[in-house]
Copies of this chain bind each other. A is one copy, B any other.
Amino acid sequence: MPIIEFHPRRTIEEVEEGNILAPKFGPDSLMPCITTDHQTGEVLMLGWMDANALRLTLETGEAHYFSRSRQTLWRKGANSGLVQHVIEARIDDDQDALWLRVQVAGSGASCHVGYRSCFYRTVPMKNKAGTKLRFTERAKTFDPIATYGDAPNPTQL
């Protein structure tokens, strides 16, 4: 039994200033989801949700996404054990983006490459040293080969 309804988008005022959930998914039926560590505020990943993933996330309290590379529902941690327990979910003004504040199980990592955060590299900017990406994490948190074996890499060129 769903505990929360997805309402129609009737007026801009209701969408922006109201208290009913009226999510908007993109042309690909997906909504971007920002996932942060609920304690440190670090951004762990940017995922995508279809209506089913959003509903399951809200109903179970565990982050579910839609895998664009595999084109299927993805319960985060199903293979790796790195389940994301949702402490708080927030929606943005026009209700087309989600923010999850999570506590990650196990080693605490969220990135398939093995790092804690998917955002493990800084981009050089004006007046700052160098023109190369710089790593912010010194070592991987887990071994992706041991965890995922020969499953296809979700990164696509």
Contact = CB atoms under 8 A, between A and B. Distances in A.
Interface of A: 3-5, 9-12, 15-21, 24, 32, 34, 36, 40-43, 45-46, 58-61, 86, 88-94, 97-99, 111-113, 115, 118-127, 131-136, 153-157
Copies of this chain present in the complex amount to: 2
A102 to B, nearest CB: 12
A104 B111 CA distance: 29
**Prevailing SS type, chain A contact patch:** loop
A42 B89 CA distance: 13
Please give me the 3 A-B residue pairs with the lowest Cβ-Cβ distance, nearest first.
Answer: A41-B41, A94-B155, A46-B97
Contact of A90 (B92, B111, B121): B121
A113 B61 CA distance: 29
A12 to B, nearest CB: 5
Given A15-B157, A46-B97, A89 B122 contact: yes
B119 A58 contact: no
